[in-house]
Amino acid sequence: GNLTLYTLPGDSWPDSAHEPHIKNLLTRKIAGDCFTTEIHLDNFVPLHRWQQAGIILLEDTSLTSKSLRLSIAFNDFFGGYKKDGEIIVQGVSSEGAKTYNPEEFIHLPLFSLNDEQKGLMQQNLRKSALRVEKNGTNFRFLSATAQVDNFAFREIMTREFNSFKPKYIGIFALEGFVDSTAYIPAHFSYFTITTEKCHH
């Protein structure tokens, strides 16, 4: 009942040594301009820097066009400050090859990875979900985490992306450009995209 993608090395966020690439990326064409898309993940607990899984919207399938992604991710980068690692919902937009300077427009901490809370955090990530609703140039981002299936989504942000016209949607798992064998599975238990009439 699940599609499993492992968090293999790669990223849509390039660095000085790597062009953007995601090994575990499944894409399909989007049939309309306005849509709602949603994924559910089972027991996805990223534990190493940049490990993540989620949804990516693309203008083409090359990863060099404009893109936008929403993911459940691990973060332990705090600009030199010492803090416990954290599980976050991350939103990243990119102008593509024109700039290669992505913007992290969502950084929502969900759980701290200190030892006292680790067990509770794993329980609450038995089920996690992400949703993106697009109406014209307006994008609404939602997330949910729970121990059981009857979770409630909460809105993270609504934002306009005026010049972004996604033609493809993908689901992905990655761990950034790291030399690591700490791959973990991302079990996708649900995926849907529903095209809708645009409301202006």
Provide the pLDDT confidence category of residue 99 given band limits of 50, 70 and 90.
Answer: low
> Among residues 182, 180, 183, 178, which one has the least CA distance to residue 18?
178
Distance between CA 37 and CA 55 in Å, rounded? 9
Cα-based torsion angle of the residue sequence 23, 53, 120, 153 in order, rounded to the nearest 10 degrees = -170
Q: What is the CA radius of gyration of the chain?
A: 16
pLDDT the model gives residue 98: 65
Q: Could you give the percent of the chain with pLDDT greater than 90?
A: 65
H-helix or E-strand containing 174?
A: strand 168-174
- The reported pTM is 0.93
